[in-house]
Amino acid sequence: MNRRRFWDYFNRLQGIGRQDNGVFRVAWTDEDMLARRELAEILTYEGFTAFRDGAGNVWGLWTPKPGQEYLVLGSHLDSVAGGGDFDGVYGVAAALETLLSLRECQFGDYGNVAIVAFADEEGVRFNSGLLGSRAITGALTRQEFMTMADASGNHSLEDAAAAYGVTWESLSAIRPVPICAYLEIHVEQGPILEERQIPLGIVNVIAGRSQGYVRFTGRQNHAGTTPMDKRQDALLAAAQAVVGLHEAVMDHECVGTVGDIIADPGSPNVIAGHSAISFDVRAPKDDIREAVLRRWQASWAAGAIVQRVDKAAVALDLMIRNILRDAAARLQIPTMFLNSWAVHDAMILAQSVPSGLLFIPSAAGVSHARDEWSSPQDCEIGVMVFEEAARTILTG
Ligand code: GLV
Ligand code: MN
Ligand code: MN
Ligand code: MN
């Protein structure tokens, strides 16, 4: 790897949408689009074939062997609102540096390499996470694309995406490059590697996730004059569901989060007529996640309406896991195998091609927050092993 070049490009991409209180490159905003354009410009400047596909995924292709399949190296540029400096963008910068290094070393004798920054990995506003990777593998349905809305129910994914040129027509026109394998590198976003003082993790299983919104309807009324026993309080129903989820996941190998809540009309002296909560439930075992959700759902107030997207847990390719382990061993970097509780585009690619995912340590396990941090040394170790593994795949 060329360290200076890696950090130059990392800083260029990572600086876009950065504010005092974190990174704001939320999908379907100008900042996110700016980052995509910047990556396409870098790729073009470096002499690769660069383009944006019908989902907004940005690709860079190096094709020394026309007609052959590509080893694809990918991650995402979008962030949560107030996110950290590394989530996603580290993996894109690592993929870019690997592509540049492989070309320099003439690894084109062995095959084609592509990098991709997937669109809307985070799914912050519309539950549309992993959209770009699902679009290229055919896992995104028209029904889902056309019906996803934000928590309020008033803004649709369809409209937000259309403002940036992504429509169902453009999505269905995608003809992805042929792919032989997929590799991704990411910050762990959890505490395990740091606690064990191991610089590199190789992911076995990516936990499944159910995510969505529940909307409750009550009756809007006066906060002073309405007796307590005559209320239909939509916000109370939401609050009970928040506590209910926390209780439902307890004592199971499962996590559950309500990260957002809305009351309508949202006024101190008005009983809420409508409310909505987001939910996010994850487990490495699908039957546990399903059971927790069933139990929780049964406790909701009558008439609740749910918008829900499920992703099953995925085991990553055994051969690629071993390639990653051996690549690290050749560079004398200690590794461990672990599961990912965060989702990644690798879980979508893994359903159609052999896929692997590498983690570097996250300070104090903090992520989806401004304080997310990984040391420069760990970042560089990650790129070196990533590159070594890519080389192994290319040379068969
Ligand atoms: C995405 O980063 C997720 O795991 O929620
Ligand atoms: Mn994330
Ligand atoms: Mn990420
Ligand atoms: Mn993620």
CA distance 279 to 299: 14
Same structural domain for residues 174 and 118? Answer: yes
pLDDT tens figures, 23-56 = 999 999 999 999 999 999 999 999 999 999 999 9
Judge whether residue 310 has pLDDT over 90: yes
Mean pLDDT in residue range 361-381: 98
Same structural domain for residues 179 and 50? Answer: yes
> Of the residues 77, 187, 368, 372, which should be mutated to test ligand 1's pocket, given the most ligand atoms within 8 Å of the CB?
368
Same structural domain for residues 222 and 349? Answer: no
Q: What is residue 110's predicted lDDT score, i.e. its pLDDT?
A: 83
Mean pLDDT in residue range 4-11: 98
Q: Is the CB of 346 under 6 A from ligand 1?
A: no
Same structural domain for residues 375 and 262? Answer: no
Q: Is the CB of 281 under 6 A from ligand 1?
A: no
Same structural domain for residues 90 and 127? Answer: yes
Q: What is residue 152's predicted lDDT score, i.e. its pLDDT?
A: 86
Q: Which ligand 1 atom is nearest residue 87's CA?
A: 2
Q: Is 74 left (phi over 0), alpha (psi -120 to 50) or beta?
A: beta
Phi/psi of residue 276, each to 5°? Answer: -150, 145
Judge whether residue 108 has pLDDT over 70: no
Q: Which protein residue has the closest C-alpha to ligand 1 atom 2? A: 122
Same structural domain for residues 203 and 233? Answer: no
Q: How many domains does one find in the chain?
A: 2
Judge whether residue 107 has pLDDT over 80: no
Q: Is the CB of 372 under 6 A from ligand 1?
A: no
Q: What is residue 151's predicted lDDT score, i.e. its pLDDT?
A: 86
Q: Among residues 256, 279, 311, which one ends one of the domains?
A: 311
Same structural domain for residues 386 and 247? Answer: no
Same structural domain for residues 11 and 21? Answer: yes
- Name which of 78, 89, 80, 85 is nearest 6 in CA terms: 89
pLDDT tens figures, 347-356 = 999 999 999 9
Long-range residue pairs from 244-249, CB within 8 A, at least 24 positions apart, any chain:
244/296, 244/299, 244/300, 245/279, 245/281, 245/296, 248/292, 248/293, 248/295, 248/296, 248/299, 249/281, 249/292
pLDDT tens figures, 156-189 = 999 999 999 999 999 999 999 999 999 999 999 9
Q: Which protein residue has the closest C-alpha to ligand 1 atom 4? A: 342
Q: Which of 97-106, 314-323, 330-339 has the lowest mean pLDDT?
A: 97-106
Cβ < 5 A residues, ion ligand 3: 87-88
Q: Is the CB of 122 under 6 A from ligand 1?
A: yes
Q: What CATH number is associated with residue 227?
A: 3.30.70.360
Q: Is the CB of 130 under 6 A from ligand 1?
A: no
Q: What CATH number is associated with residue 345?
A: 3.40.630.10
Q: Is the CB of 343 under 6 A from ligand 1?
A: yes
Q: Among residues 262, 280, 311, which one ends one of the domains?
A: 311
pLDDT band at residue 17 under the 50/70/90 scheme: very high
Mean pLDDT score of the chain, rounded to an integer? 97
Query: Which domain range does residue 292 map to?
Result: 208-311
Same structural domain for residues 98 and 23? Answer: yes
| Interface predicted TM-score (ipTM) | 0.91
Q: Is the CB of 342 under 6 A from ligand 1?
A: yes
What spacing in Å lies between the alpha carbon of 368 and ligand 4's midpoint? 9
Q: Among residues 252, 285, 311, which one ends one of the domains?
A: 311
Same structural domain for residues 42 and 159? Answer: yes
Same structural domain for residues 174 and 236? Answer: no
Exposed/middle/buried for residue 251 (C-beta within 10 Å: 0-12, 13-18, 19+): exposed
Tell me the three-class secondary structure of the chain, residue by residue.
CCHHHHHHHHHHHHCCCEECCEEECCCCCHHHHHHHHHHHHHHHHCCCEEEECCCCCEEEEECCCCCCCEEEEEEECCCCEEECCCCCHHHHHHHHHHHHHHHHCCHHHCCEEEEEEECCCCCCCCCCCCHHHHHHHCCCCHHHHHHCECCCCCCEHHHHHHCCCCCHHHHHCCCCCCEEEEEEEEECCCCHHHHHCCCEEEEEEECEEEEEEEEEECCCEECCCCCHHHCCCHHHHHHHHHHHHHHHHCCCCCEEECCCEEEECCCCCEECCEEEEEEEEEECCHHHHHHHHHHHHHCCCCCCEEEEEEECCEECCHHHHHHHHHHHHHCCCCEEEEEECCCCCHHHHCCCCCEEEEEECCHHHCCCCCCCCCCHHHHHHHHHHHHHHHHHHHHC
Q: Which ligand 1 atom is nearest residue 211's CA?
A: 5
Same structural domain for residues 200 and 223? Answer: no
Q: Is the CB of 292 under 6 A from ligand 1?
A: no
